[in-house]
Amino acid sequence: MDDLVTSHTNALTENPAFPQEFQPRERGRAASRVQIDNIVSKFDPEQYVVDSHRLDTGPMIVGSDGVVESGNGRTIALRRLAQERPEEYARYQQ
């Protein structure tokens, strides 16, 4: 999880290592922060492992180079979850 290249850091500052053409959203906005906070506080691992056939839910899409092509917010939320709620992150891993 830590090796994945997301559009923004866990603090929601732009990641210069990320090809910005893959991220049309401005993750530094308050709405992104609220979305990520909600994922962490109301975490349900099923929503992140079951393929919903949609780009805005389910597993993240990660290129062979480790770049998160879809699911940057989910990835950042999972990183926070691992730090803040390790027991919930363990459920996700299982």
Per-residue pLDDT reduced to its tens digit, 6-58: 999 999 888 999 998 876 666 667 888 999 999 999 999 988 888 888 777 88
What's the per-residue H, E or C state across 2-36? CCCECCECCCCCECCCCCHHHCCCCCCCHHHHHHH
State both tokens at 16.
Answer: 């210069």
d(C-alpha 14, C-alpha 17), whole Å: 9
Confidence of residue 84 (pLDDT cuts 50, 70, 90): very high
d(C-alpha 65, C-alpha 18), whole Å: 11
Per-residue pLDDT reduced to its tens digit, 45-60: 988 888 888 777 889 9
